[in-house]
Structure 1
Amino acid sequence: MLEIVGLEGMTVEEVNKEIANGAKFVVFLYCFSIIILSFKRSSKIYFIKAGESTLKKSLLFILISLFFGWWGIPWGIIYTVQCLFTNLRGGKDMTAQVIAALRQT
């Protein structure tokens, strides 16, 4: 089963209504480097209601990338820029994939 942050206490009808109004499911990217190894990962899936800002939810992942991501050369720098760019633009939209996965269950 998918673990989605932000759906707590919501009914299926409420979620469908929010999606119809522009809500989306997103993941935030982060990266970290250990000496010469760099890793790029994604967060849990977050439900973002229509008109809701993603900045507060993405801030932790932005900070992880800024402080721990850029150390590895060259991939740490590349991954850090990719993660920051994605997160500052609202995260990676996973709405279509989540809806498809939920319909299969």
Structure 2
Amino acid sequence: MSDMNRYSPGLPAETAMGLLPDHYIEQTRSGRIRSRIKIEGVGGQTLAEVKKAVSQGARFILFRVSMFLVFYYFTHTSSVFFRHADGSAQAGKKQVLFIVVSLALIAAAAVFFIWGVNAIGLLDPGKDFFYNAVILLLLGLGAYFPIASLVINLRGGEDVTANIVKYFELIEDYRKNNTAGNNRAENSTNNQTN
């Protein structure tokens, strides 16, 4: 399967003018949309302008919050933000929001961990060791994922620059190939009428 089939073939109108789209779409192999993430800060820019900014230190970042409930892992990501080399981006409020949510999930995980340790009677030697170990593992995972998200968010977000630039390059190639194909079709139609 080609990379372009994996990403959005239904390109927005601005890509026909050489401008970059304001969203990132990834599809499954069956063509269903797996995720659609808004990209903030690239409006009205071309691929060359973005690549130049990236070479000067700009980055695409996102923030995440995760939790683990028994056997269900949940993660939510923010929009992708284009942070320039000088650090300017509209990401400040989102970063604080994701940090606060991660802290709340860590507090909830700590409460459940303490409750779980007391509920299973960890210090009671009459309890089944395997059962206690599984419960402690699940309670520990409940605390691990929000802590990992908090660390990522405190470090300034997750750097997804390589993925986004590759996505933009694929869109640019797709646009150029379709534009070239349309021009060839128009030229052959014009030659047939002459």
5+ long unaligned stretches in structure 1: none
Q: Does 1:87 align with 2:153?
A: yes
Which of 66, 76, 79 does residue 142 from structure 2 map onto?
A: 76
The one-character-per-residue Cα deviations of 1:52-84 (angstroms, maximum 9, x if unpaired) are 167724111111111135534333311111011
Q: Does 1:59 align with 2:102?
A: no
The one-character-per-residue Cα deviations of 1:27-73 (angstroms, maximum 9, x if unpaired) are 11112566x55523322211111121677241111111111355343
Q: Does 1:47 align with 2:85?
A: no
Measured at CA, do residues 51 and 30 of structure 1 come closer, stay the same or move farther in structure 2, by a change above 3 Å? same
Q: Does 1:28 align with 2:63?
A: yes
| Identity in percent | 29
Which structure has the larger Rg over C-alpha atoms? 2
Tell me how many residue pairs correspond in the alignment: 103
Q: Contact 2:67–2:142 at 8 Å: present in 1 too?
A: yes
Q: Counterpart in 2 of 1:17?
A: 52
RCO comparison, higher one (Cα < 8 Å, 6+): 1
| Structure number with higher strand proportion | 1
> Normalising by structure 2, what TM-score?
0.46
Letter in 2 for 1:61: F
Q: Contact 1:32–1:70 at 8 Å: present in 2 too?
A: no
Give the C-alpha shift of residue 16 in structure 1.
3.1
The one-character-per-residue Cα deviations of 1:5-37 (angstroms, maximum 9, x if unpaired) are 2223x4225433321210000111112566x55
> Normalising by structure 1, what TM-score?
0.77
| Structure number with higher helix proportion | 2
Measured at CA, do residues 53 and 33 of structure 1 come closer, stay the same or move farther in structure 2, by a change above 3 Å? farther
